[in-house]
Structure 1
Amino acid sequence: MRSTLTALAFSLAATAAATVALAHGPTPQKVDQSVTVAAPPDAVWKVVGDFGGIGKWHPDVAGVEASGGNASGGTRKVTLKSGGTLVEGLDEWKGDARTYSYRMSDPDLKALPVSSYSATITVSPDGAGSKVSWQGRFYRGDTGNEPEEALSDEAGRTAMNRYFSNGLKGLKAAVEGGR
Structure 2
Amino acid sequence: MNVTETVVITEAPDAVWRVAGDAGAIAAWVPAIESSRLEGDVRHATFAGGGGDATERIVEHDDAGRSYVYEYLSGPLALEEYRSRLSVRDHARGAEIVWTADFAAGSPEEEARLAEAISGIYRSALAELKERLEG
- Length-normalised TM-score, structure 1: 0.70
The equivalent position to 1:77 in structure 2, one of 44, 47, 51, is 44
Query: What residue number does 1:24 align with?
Result: none
Percent of paired sites with the same residue = 28
Question: Which structure has greater strand proportion?
Answer: 2
Unaligned runs of 5+ in 1: 1-28, 69-73
Letter in 1 for 2:113: A
The equivalent position to 2:66 in structure 1, one of 87, 93, 98, is 98
The equivalent position to 2:22 in structure 1, one of 36, 50, 61, is 50
After superposition, give the CA deviation of every residue in 1:59-82 in whole Å (9 maximum; x if it has no partner). 1111113212xxxxx111111113
Q: CA deviation at 1:42?
A: 0.5
Contact 1:76/1:88 (<8 A) preserved: yes
After superposition, give the CA deviation of every residue in 1:27-56 in whole Å (9 maximum; x if it has no partner). xx0001100001010110010011101011
Contact 2:9/2:93 (<8 A) preserved: no
Q: CA deviation at 1:107?
A: 3.8
| Paired residues, number | 134
Query: What residue number does 1:11 align with?
Result: none
Mark the CA change 1:101 to 1:39 in structure 2 (over 3 Å): closer, same or farther.
same
Aligned 1:63-142 pairs, distance under 5 A:
63-68=35-40, 74-82=41-49, 83-109=51-77, 113-140=78-105
Divergent runs of 4+, >4 A: none
- Length-normalised TM-score, structure 2: 0.92
Query: What residue number does 2:3 align with?
Result: 31
Letter in 2 for 1:63: S
Mark the CA change 1:174 to 1:91 in structure 2 (over 3 Å): closer, same or farther.
same
Give the distance between the partners of 1:66 and 1:105, measured in 2 at CA.
14
Higher Cα radius of gyration: 1
CA RMSD of aligned residues (A): 1.6
Query: What residue number does 2:131 align with?
Result: 173
Give the distance between the partners of 1:170 and 1:56, measured in 2 at CA.
9
